[in-house]
Structure 1
Amino acid sequence: MKMKAVNRHVIAGAKIIVFLLLFFAAFSYGMFQGGFVSWFLFFSILPFALYALFILFYPVQKIQVMREIAKTDVSEGETVRMKMTVRFPFRSPLFFLSLSDEMPEKLAKRGRTPYKTLLFAFFKKELAVQYAIPNITRGEYVFPAVRVYVADWFGFVEKSRRIPCEASFLVYPAVVDMVYRPFENYFDQGMAAVRDQVKRDSTMAVQLRDYQPGDRFSWIHWKATARRNELMTKEFEQRQTNDLMIVLDCSPGGTFDLAVKFTASLIRAVIKKGGQAGLYACEKERHYFPVQGGVFHKQAMFYFLAKVEDESAIPWHKQIENDPVIFLQNINKIFVTTALREEDIEAIAKNVSPRGAKLLVCVKGNDEQISPGDTKLMNLAKSRGIFVKILREENFANAFGGGMDR
């Protein structure tokens, strides 16, 4: 890196020396030769020489760039509009300035090219430029800086500077309007959808706990609240279909973004239906959102889903084996993955409570076919009491519309 910087300085210095030699050669030619042609040649070069001298001493380091983003919370597929304002230290005969934006690594990996433009700044104090990033994908994007470049007409004198002007925005996963129908596990009839409204059995309070955001006003135990001088909530006996825990596989996979989209759509559908949802995922570290309801809880899970990547270094079945307490709760569970694996099925069967239905959803691309190996693993899962559903993006809306075992 240092070697490249040294080479750049050497080349820049060589260009300046060559330009000065040409200028003095023209001057010497006019002095010794005399006449109209020789002096015409000299005075033709003089404006370019003066502009190169101006660029040589122009304070590029005093140029300021400010960045504005129209929206910092964006949904996947929308267009992000960026505005950059360039302020110059003083009005000057600076003809043009090249401005290039540093692209976040995630956008570069998706084949997006950095934004570059040429600004004509002749005697202007301030310039503004706007550009759009269409069809943005899910994730967190940080734009760290821009690079400005000025030069004389022939490129003998060049100056550039990296100007930090960090700005970021978050792209939430797109959601599909999904009709969620809670399911129960009938040992003699297989899995069936329950089409009634999700309800909490409030006829029998089994214990008290601290109030949590999302609890209903009618669940508050007023006598206990008065005794302890803090809000206490009744904990009711729950039906098997009341709550849903979603376990997301963060192993590297080509359809991981689709799995995140399905997970976000499912969370939204459960809470919209009146139920409660939880989320477990192990990316670079473990993330656990207990089963709750309410807008703030939903927002926290969506914030995580906007940033999560398929970068888990721990195999999914090891995660399930290492955190069995989470999966022993008496609630329905949906495991979301991008590939069916025998070791994952065995881990779910051994470490997840038999009470409460277990559904394993494998998200595939629209062009992917169900292989014979997938069919074999689906039969294995069914024999272990796990129901498997293979979904493509085009089927998300009707994921719970029919039989659960496909």
Structure 2
Amino acid sequence: MKRTWNRRCWPALARLLLLTAVLFSYAMFQGGFVSWFLFYSFLPFGLYALLIAIYPLKRTAVRRTVPAGRRYWAGDRIPVTAHIDLPWLIPMAAVVVAEGEQNGGAMIAWPLRRRLVCTWSLSLPRGRHSLDTIRLEVHDAFGWVRKTASFHAPCTVIVYPRYIEWPAEAVREWFAHGKAARPIPLHRDMVVAAGAREYVPGDKMSWVHWKASARRQELMTKEFDEQRNDDWIVVLDGAPSRSFEELVTLAASVAKALIDDGVPVGLLVAGKERSFVKPRRHNDQWQSLLLKLAEAHDDRNEPLARILMEEINDRTAAGYIMVTSSLSAEWVGQLREMASKRRVVLYVVSDRWGEEERNEADRLRHSGVYVSHIAPPTLQTVWQGGKEK
């Protein structure tokens, strides 16, 4: 707990004592009913202000709570409740409760109990927020003496990004038609053998099925199950951008659409601190993606091409959905190379879409990359989801 005194507290107390002394001196020297009436009329208010000045506000116990068990989305009103245990029970004109660094708080007028509970709401942007300090202020009826103190009441709130209703067909149908359609990459399950076949020159010796070869008196090769790899990875470009919040919204929207369609979706945040969520089919996958997107920052300080080279070459996925705010020539070539092996979808959220960007987009489309330009206001004006059903 940290104690802070209002700079006007002691000067106000000095003025209060001076006024009391002046009224008393006036009554003593002037005499009469009026002078003593003024003094005795002022005395209860003066003593009450003096009581507020010596009130041990620093001994107050304060804690903050935020309702758990629900998600808070960007722009939501988040209810914050403060529980206050006052040291003395005295009639105070008002107790003002305020957030230390946020715009929020409440005021309780003439509380006649020691334990107080007050609630207010905060509107926080996307991210992980650490609420730390609560400030209390008490004063008398006329505001002659004001006393403040700050208290350490930590609480962490995670605000998730909003998402829009993004149809999965917007991504999946493109691969089902036209020259861009290509078979989904397959990989062999090298653990369980599904059967055996005759040996063909070129088969690895480690694939030889020795038991079947002994029975057939000829070399037999193991047959493995071929599994369909339909994993997708959403790549969020963490470069500094005015449209970064729209990028996060779009990344969340595409991921949510594919998860609802039963597709395993992973996430790569290409920022200063890279974070990766492996594609999987799990009930908690959406929560894992939301948490990474809530903590994403636009602080990338190295070329995106290098990040893609280091992170994607070792990942096995059917396709990648790239979400960025710029289309530069430095990594266009890398996208074209990626498109020869995997499916690549590129969403560019930017106000700028000139002749150079259109030419680069056409070259990427000829290489099999699906390119779509989205203006930031489009993502700002559409109906946004993210509400609990």
- TM-score normalised to the size of structure 2? 0.76
Within 5 A, what are the aligned runs for 1:25-40? 25-40=22-37
Asked if 1:117 corresponds to 2:132, the answer is: no
Which residue in the other structure is 2:77 paired with?
79
Cα distance in 2, alignment partners of residues 330 and 57 from structure 1: 69
Within 5 A, what are the aligned runs for 1:127-276? 127-133=116-122, 137-181=125-169, 182=172, 190-192=179-181, 205-208=188-191, 237-239=226-228, 242-276=230-264
Deviation of residue 156 (structure 1)?
A: 4.2
Q: Deviations over 1:218-268 (max 9, x none)?
A: xxxxxxxxxxxxxxxxx954446x221221101122222222222122222
Asked if 1:360 corresponds to 2:346, the answer is: yes
Q: Deviations over 1:372-397 (max 9, x none)?
A: 3331331343355533111357589x
Cα distance in 2, alignment partners of residues 37 and 101 from structure 1: 46
Deviation of residue 148 (structure 1)?
A: 0.5
Q: What SS does the aligned partner of 1:295 have?
A: coil
Contact 2:238 2:272 in 1 (8 A): no
Q: What SS does the aligned partner of 1:343 have?
A: coil
Within 5 A, what are the aligned runs for 1:300-379? 300-326=288-314, 329=316, 331-349=318-336, 352=338, 354-364=340-350, 368=351, 370-379=353-362
Cα distance in 2, alignment partners of residues 185 and 14 from structure 1: 76
Cα distance in 2, alignment partners of residues 47 and 382 from structure 1: 84
Cα distance in 2, alignment partners of residues 80 and 18 from structure 1: 42
Letter in 1 for 2:372: K
Cα distance in 2, alignment partners of residues 19 and 153 from structure 1: 14
Moved more, 82-91 or 38-47: 82-91
Asked if 1:381 corresponds to 2:364, the answer is: yes
Contact 1:250 1:281 in 2 (8 A): yes
Which residue in the other structure is 2:14 paired with?
17
Q: What SS does the aligned partner of 2:313 have?
A: helix
Cα distance in 2, alignment partners of residues 160 and 315 from structure 1: 50
Q: What SS does the aligned partner of 1:163 have?
A: strand
Deviation of residue 324 (structure 1)?
A: 5.0
Letter in 2 for 1:378: A
User: Percent identity at matched positions?
Assistant: 24
Larger Rg: 2
Deviation of residue 369 (structure 1)?
A: 6.4
Contact 2:105 2:120 in 1 (8 A): no
Q: What SS does the aligned partner of 1:342 have?
A: coil
Contact 2:231 2:317 in 1 (8 A): no
Letter in 1 for 2:355: P
Letter in 2 for 1:87: D
Q: Deviations over 1:126-155 (max 9, x none)?
A: 232222346x54322322121001233454
Q: Deviations over 1:342-397 (max 9, x none)?
A: 223234345x3721122211124xxx46333331331343355533111357589x
Which residue in the other structure is 2:64 paired with?
67
Contact 2:13 2:50 in 1 (8 A): no
Q: CA RMSD in A?
A: 3.3
Asked if 1:90 corresponds to 2:76, the answer is: no
Deviation of residue 56 (structure 1)?
A: 1.8
Contact 1:244 1:334 in 2 (8 A): yes
- TM-score normalised to the size of structure 1? 0.73
Contact 2:95 2:138 in 1 (8 A): yes
Provide structure 2 residue ranges, at least 5 long, that are not aligned to the other structure: 193-223, 383-389
Contact 2:106 2:119 in 1 (8 A): no
